[in-house]
């Protein structure tokens, strides 16, 4: 389903995002600290409430199909973002980031991630608009990722610095210690970068690697770049609070990778079915569409929410039994 988004709506939406991120930056920059559980819940509830209102507004003005696409995309992106937090924890540990500064690191890292994701979304939308067969590639990649995620879920995760982070770490004069939220400081008359820059880039660029499966996944739920971008922004907005709120809970979500693999596998199959349904490849069915059933957006939303809910319940029950057995 195609929807022409008027320029004024893009401008208004970007203004909303700029306002939310500016408020976040002012709060974090003025008083760096490790947020309390109450603070995290408050911010998370606020962002989630704004996202729900945004989805309802889309539902009312653009139709229920677009509204459901947004909610399905938002839930999918949010759930996949939770898996990112494992690696973010490793990055914070790898660079010995003080607890009081982790909130600021995540905030700047999320801003970088958002810019990189926006570029990725624009490229993906352009490819889909011009080459409908790209859904075959996206679908196959998601199914492969799902199988890999399911079969490797018991392996220990380890963070490896990407080439950009390694290059910057070697090329720029950097201090050994953090100096608050500052990126540059003057020591003995010489200017140095602080580890804040390197960690921020590590968070932002690592998130892009996760977007290699999350963005194709959301394109399996909607082809509208505006909806894809909006769902990604709202998922990233609450990621910082989720990091602190779920810090201890992440270890208890023992079946998270398995649940996410089911979601990715389902969307991957849906992408392949959609590609068959709109087929134009001359060597496949003579270039004619293949009459296969394609899961609706409503069904997709139900499967995603259902799988994640079952995953959470089973994970917490398994963790509770493990704790009882250890006593």
Quick one: pLDDT at residue 236? 85
Compute the mean pLDDT over every residue in the chain, rounded to the nearest whole number. Answer: 81
At 240, is the pLDDT very low, low, confident or very high (cuts 50, 70, 90)?
A: confident
Query: Checking phi first, is residue 177 left (phi over 0); if not, alpha (psi -120 to 50) or beta?
Result: beta
Quick one: pLDDT at residue 64? 86
- Per the CB < 8 A criterion, the answer to whether 82 and 224 are in contact is no
192, pLDDT greater than 60: yes
Q: Which of 98-107, 157-166, 219-228 has the lowest mean pLDDT?
A: 157-166
Quick one: pLDDT at residue 55? 92
Closest of 247, 271, 258, 268 to residue 315, by C-alpha: 258
Average pLDDT rounded to a whole number, residues 279-298: 80
Share above pLDDT 90 across residues of the chain, in percent, rounded to a whole number: 7
Cβ neighbours around 161 below 10 Å, total? 18
At 71, is the pLDDT very low, low, confident or very high (cuts 50, 70, 90)?
A: very high
At 289, is the pLDDT very low, low, confident or very high (cuts 50, 70, 90)?
A: confident
Show me where the domains of the chain are located.
7-326
Q: How far is CA 132 from CA 2, 276, 278, in A?
A: 13, 10, 8
3-class SS shares of the chain: helix, strand, coil, % to 5: 75, 5, 25
At 28, is the pLDDT very low, low, confident or very high (cuts 50, 70, 90)?
A: low
Torsion of CA 241, 246, 250, 252, to 10 degrees: -160
Average pLDDT rounded to a whole number, residues 281-302: 82
218, pLDDT greater than 80: yes
Measure the CA–CA gap between 203 and 87, rounded to whole angstroms: 9
Measure the CA–CA gap between 239 and 152, rounded to whole angstroms: 24
Q: In degrees rounded to 5, what are phi and psi of residue 209? A: -65, -40
DSSP H/E element including 85: helix 64-94
Q: Give residue-wise pLDDT tens across range 76-91.
A: 888 887 767 777 877 8
Gyration radius from the chain CA atoms: 21
Per the DSSP assignment, residues forming a β-bridge with 184 are 193
At 112, is the pLDDT very low, low, confident or very high (cuts 50, 70, 90)?
A: confident
101-112 burial, b at 16+ Cβ within 10 Å, e below that, comes to: bbbbbbbbbbbb
Closest of 297, 275, 260 to residue 139, by C-alpha: 275
- Per the CB < 8 A criterion, the answer to whether 73 and 229 are in contact is no
Quick one: pLDDT at residue 211? 73
At 161, is the pLDDT very low, low, confident or very high (cuts 50, 70, 90)?
A: low
95, pLDDT greater than 70: yes
Could you tell me where the beta strands, DSSP code E, fall in the chain? 184-187, 190-193
User: Is 36 in a helix, a strand, or coil?
Assistant: coil
What pTM was estimated for this model as a whole? 0.79
């Amino acid at each position: 389903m195609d929807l022409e988004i008027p320029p004024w709506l893009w401008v208004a939406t970007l203004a909303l995002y700029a306002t939310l991120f500016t408020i976040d930056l002012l709060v974090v920059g003025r008083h760096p600290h490790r947020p309390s559980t109450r603070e995290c819940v408050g911010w998370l509830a606020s962002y989630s409430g704004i996202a729900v209102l945004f989805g309802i507004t889309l539902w009312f003005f653009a139709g229920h199909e677009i509204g459901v696409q947004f909610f399905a995309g938002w839930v999918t992106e949010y759930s996949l973002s939770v898996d990112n937090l494992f690696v973010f924890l490793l990055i914070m540990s790898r660079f010995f980031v003080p607890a009081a500064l982790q909130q600021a690191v995540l905030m700047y890292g999320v801003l970088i991630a958002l810019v990189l994701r926006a570029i990725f979304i624009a490229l993906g939308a352009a490819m889909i608009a011009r080459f409908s067969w790209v859904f075959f590639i996206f679908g196959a990649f998601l199914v492969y990722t799902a199988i890999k995620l399911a079969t490797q879920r018991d392996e220990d995760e380890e963070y490896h610095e990407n080439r950009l982070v390694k290059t910057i770490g070697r090329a720029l004069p950097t201090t050994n210690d953090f100096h608050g939220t500052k990126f540059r400081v003057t020591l003995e008359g010489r200017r140095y970068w602080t580890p804040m820059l390197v960690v921020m880039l590590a968070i932002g660029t690592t998130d892009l690697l996760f977007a290699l499966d999350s963005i194709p996944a959301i394109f399996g739920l909607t082809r509208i770049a505006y909806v894809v971008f909006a769902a990604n922004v709202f998922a990233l907005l609450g990621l910082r609070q989720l990091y602190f709120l779920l810090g201890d809970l992440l270890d208890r979500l023992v079946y998270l990778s398995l649940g996410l693999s089911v979601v990715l596998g389902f969307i991957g199959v849906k992408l392949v079915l959609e590609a068959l349904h709109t087929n134009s490849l001359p060597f496949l069915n003579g270039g004619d569409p293949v009459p296969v059933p394609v899961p609706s957006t409503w069904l997709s939303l139900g499967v995603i929410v259902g799988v994640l809910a079952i995953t959470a319940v089973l994970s917490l029950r398994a963790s509770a039994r493990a704790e009882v057995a250890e006593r």
